[in-house]
A = this chain, B = another copy of it.
């Protein structure tokens, strides 16, 4: 994986990230990604939250065509819970981009992130779009600026790029601090490829890749009003990979972006992988992993480097899944602290002082298996989320 390249890594894309003045700090806050084709196939997945921000409602509508010419994103305001006026703001932003690029607004997706409930400063947004159109470029620097323009509580831009040996590649950026359904902060991701793809292939591949990556990072259980993952294909490489090849590489790039989200989550001091094996089904394994990942007693114990397996057993016992408590084993950093329902090896043997913690929960029931990535619950998490409005 190459983390120095992102959305401008694949051929056929230009990008920009500029300071439109939406953020009082003067930091970059408006990003534009443009697909110069020749293809326009695109797909998107969106938050399942019933309270959807205006840009999500807009982009869902646009994506019904499975075709995109551009994506415009802003930080500094989520444009959520802003009513019909907020939706008009999103529409006006798409129109402005379309005007600048000479395409239709229906070919422009919009994403926003920041505080909920405030209208965007539209004067700044619209003149920012003009600036961004002028700044569009296809080099690495432009890709980095694009990745930077969407940051909120992120401490660093997060991008990834990988080439396939057959002459096409996938690149992208992400912002946020959670799963596809994050709670800590909105998660936005734009992924580009110069592979030549039809609309069905790109859509199916995105759903499969997010299911195995973005959907399996769970920082604190929620799903924001704005979460969006978009993938755009320019076809500029002239190569048409098989659905399997494309899905595999897309999953790889998505996993690298997710790993960076985990490492930069608010207040993170531990990067935790919770693997559930022996569940009745894969869905039940995911469900159990998420219950444990979201449990505040588990998360605080791991923050304290305490291999408190009793809290893990208690947490997973709440799952709506087939569990035989007498068959349950828990392995923490290689030490089988719970064995077939009762105490196993001395938990003092499990060394959790490092940053990485591996928890394996073996239900010894069926063949369902899944890994959920999460983080600990630290003082810094509480500080960051109580001291500032975000």
Contact = CB atoms under 8 A, between A and B. Distances in A.
Interface stretch (A37-45, A49-57, A277-285): A49-57
Contacts of A78: 310
A51 B328 contact: yes
Interface in A313-328: 313-319, 323, 325-326, 328
Nearest to A384: B300
B315 A222 contact: yes
A214 interface: no
Contact of A314 (B48, B222, B296, B319): B222
Interface residues of A, number: 63
A369 B115 CA distance: 29
A318 to B, nearest CB: 6
Interface in A283-325: 294-297, 300-301, 303-304, 306, 308-311, 313-319, 323, 325
A387 B300 CA distance: 9
Interface in A74-104: 78, 80-83, 85-86
B297 A342 contact: no
Interface string A318-362: 110001011010000000001001110000000000000000000
A190 B43 CA distance: 57
B313 A225 contact: yes
Interface string A216-239: 000011111100000000000000
Given A300-B382, A338-B81, A379-B383, A317 B50 contact: yes
Given A297-B220, A313-B51, A313-B225, A304 B386 contact: yes
A323 B222 contact: no
A208 interface: no
Contacts of A50: 317-319, 323, 325
A183 interface: yes
Interface of A: 48-52, 78, 80-83, 85-86, 115-118, 181, 183-184, 220-225, 294-297, 300-301, 303-304, 306, 308-311, 313-319, 323, 325-326, 328, 338, 341-343, 377-379, 381-383, 385-387, 389
Given A78-B310, A83-B326, 9 more contacts: A51-B317, A81-B310, A82-B343, A116-B314, A183-B296, A183-B314, A184-B297, A221-B294, A378-B382
28 contacts: A50-B319, A51-B316, A51-B328, A81-B313, A81-B341, A83-B342, A85-B342, A86-B342, A115-B310, A116-B311, A116-B314, A117-B338, A118-B343, A183-B296, A183-B315, A220-B296, A221-B295, A221-B296, A223-B317, A223-B318, A225-B313, A296-B385, A297-B385, A300-B385, A304-B385, A304-B387, A377-B382, A382-B382
